[in-house]
Chains A and B, each alone.
Chain A
Amino acid sequence: MKSLEELKAIRDKARERIAVREESGEDGIRIVVGMATCGIAAGARPVLNEFVEEVNRRGLQGVSVTQTGCIGICQYEPVVEVFEPGKEKVTYVKMTPEKVAQIVTEHIVNGRPVQEYTIGSYQK
């Protein structure tokens, strides 16, 4: 170890790898992927993994990606719900890994839900 900068570089890299162990707390954004049999069969797993990758790629703080059981709208799987403190829950349906980057950019980072992928657009 020759310098503090070298140590800090190791720290920043290592931190990403254990960030999942930090509790995002009450004020964090939660991205919840439905991972029941219906979700998995419809392809929820690649969606979940893509969210994990994308959130990490952008180094977002206070955002957690978790899974849950069946939400009850199996015909719309894969279903992803985004919980933001103080805001209405947003439900994305018929998700694919390709839609993930757009949702992270527009919704998670810029705070504008991607209307066309939400359940509201599908039910019309």
Chain B
Amino acid sequence: MYRSQVLVCGGTGCTSSHSKEIREAFESQIRDKGLDQEVKVVQTGCFGLCALGPIVIVYPEGCFYSRVKEEDVAEIVEEHLLKGRIVKRLVYDETVAEEGHIKSLNETNFYKKQKRVALRNCGVINPEVIDEYIAMDGYQALGKVLTEMTPQEVIQVVKDSGLRGRGGGGFSTGLKWSLAAANEADQKYVCCNADEGDPGAFMDRSVLEGDPHAVLEAMAIAGYAIGASQGYVYVRAEYPIAVHRLQVAIEQAKDYGLLGKNIFGTGFDFDVEVRLGAGAFVCGEETALMTSIEGNRGEPRPRPPYPALKGLFQKPTILNNVETYANIPQIILNGAEWFASMGTEKSKGTKVFALGGKIHNTGLVEIPMGTTLREIIEEIGGGIPGGKKFKAAQTGGPSGGCIPASLIDTPIDYDNLIAIGSMMGSGGLIVMDEDNCMVDIAKFFLEFTVDESCGKCTPCRVGTKRLLELLNKITKGNGTMEDLDKLEELCYYIKENALCGLGQTAPNPVLSTLRYFKDEYIAHVQDKTCPAGVCKSMLKYSINDDKCKRCSLCTRVCPTGAIEGTVKNPHKINTEKCIKCGACKDACKFGAIEIH
């Protein structure tokens, strides 16, 4: 029995800041001190507060160490584990109460308003040990449905819970299952969409890395509900840790007989295989994903027929996203009413958001639907660094839109987001401050969709390219007012005519910024200025002669030799040669370089 356990985050974020080396250092130093029979080191999934990584939690105190470095390990082992003295300088400052007591993590602003359902085990268990998942009631839900419930009852519970797809459109999960269950076939399939591609979103990766068995259990439950015996997880190869843990989990579940033949002696068979995607964004679209699993080039096809009738290998198929599945075992164990008691009228439960951009606490947060944007940004996220003003939040990635500061009190759920011209998408939430140019943001997402368009249908292939050209023209200061009209018209045309979700939603970033930030577009077109000072072509660098001390430093750092002047003589920027890189501004110690 271990008196103390040291949990080290093994998510992708912390791993990239050397949490693996930290874990190994703990293991070897604990051994050196002869504590290896008393203290256990555990690798877990993501704790969510990635901004403070690498993260180490020591139990039973529940002491939350943040930004731990390899060289800090010796001190934690010597002081905390050996002598019981918490290393205060490394403790997350929000958890240090008066008199030096350690507060529970759940009392910190970041975790206080969170309600972890899909992420409940992330950062709590070792994802590579099936017993730890079972200790948290894992596979109990599967046992319950197989021994006590009919497939119809399972579908009814999922329907009653009000769970909607967490990957994008927000379609009712129970309804999806019932459609596939109603179609007779010799073989049906259960697929899991782990092809997370939105820039900034990483909740699916975190669930797979932190709690892979929850997804497997849910897929088996879905298999029982619709009458399928085979499942596929389609995950991108860029997620090596997630892929590895998923494969470990599948092996362990097979060893325990929780996947495979005759599960719980009920005669129900279910198997799961992993399929790796090469990282094309379009493969997150359901028909393209299935085409890719079949071994073909990942391109969408027209619907109908819907996958519930003809999906993978032309058989009835359901496809749900990772986060959607992660909710299922909890819904079965706690009941539909429990789940439906959280959230808003039409959006039940919780949603995981990946907080990023101009915000203090970047990371993963899971909150009840209906939480306002203000609560997410100001309370959970800890506000915007540098005292800057909040300008907008971008949700839904390249398919979503921007929410302006005036709508910061909007309760976030599926329908409210659609109503204000954005969408839930997979839950990326990028915060922007006054230094972000909204035309530039629209351009950024358009560049992404132009790159990722599969090229099958013309509206998307050609249309998005033309949209990007218009945006480039505007940000270079060559746009006209007619271009703005053209831009809007083309957006609607693409929305109506593209084949799949990628193309149909690609214009959203442009439309929503046109809707809320038209004045910025007009400033680019009429005044030829970028109010946020982002669009390079419109910037002019000049030297304020009063502040300039004639040190000639700028002339030396300028990569193009655009600054004329020698020591003790006035300096001048030749705008013809200037590439607006900002090197002179960074170098000048007197703030003499001005940008207009």
| Residues of A participating in the B interface, judged by any CB pair closer than 8 Å | 1-4, 7, 10-11, 13-18, 20-21, 23-24, 33-37, 40, 45, 48-49, 51-53, 56, 64-69
Contacts and interface: CB of A to CB of B under 8 A. Distances in A.
B97 interface: no
A3 B148 CA distance: 12
Contacts of A13: 131
B264 A2 contact: yes
* Main SS at interface, chain A: helix
B254 to A, nearest CB: 10
B184 interface: no
B134 A65 contact: no
A66 B84 CA distance: 8
Interface in B383-437: none
Interface in B94-131: 104, 106, 124-125, 131
Contacts, number: 97
* Main SS at interface, chain B: loop
A35 B85 CA distance: 8
A26 to B, nearest CB: 9
A3 B84 contact: no
A49 B38 CA distance: 7
Contacts of B106: 23
B139 A7 contact: yes
B92 to A, nearest CB: 15
Given A1-B256, A20-B60, A35-B82, A52 B1 contact: yes
Interface string B257-280: 110000111000000000000000
Nearest to B37: A49
Contact of B143 (A4, A23, A40, A53): A4
Interface in B56-74: 59-62
Contacts of A7: 134, 139-140, 143, 264
B3 interface: yes
Contact of B84 (A4, A20, A56, A67): A67
Contacts of A2: 257, 264-265
B7 interface: yes
Nearest to B123: A21
A10 B60 contact: no
Interface in B443-487: none
Of B59, B132, B139, B257, chain A has the most CB atoms within 10 Å of the CB of B59
B85 A56 contact: no
Contacts of A37: 83
A99 B7 CA distance: 31
Interface string B122-166: 001100000110111111100110010000000000000000000
Interface in B1-53: 1-5, 7, 38
A40 B264 contact: no
Nearest to A53: B1
A20 B264 CA distance: 30
Given A1-B256, A18-B132, 16 more contacts: A2-B257, A3-B264, A4-B264, A10-B134, A10-B256, A11-B134, A13-B131, A17-B131, A21-B60, A35-B84, A36-B85, A37-B83, A52-B3, A65-B3, A66-B60, A66-B84
Interface string B73-85: 0000000001111
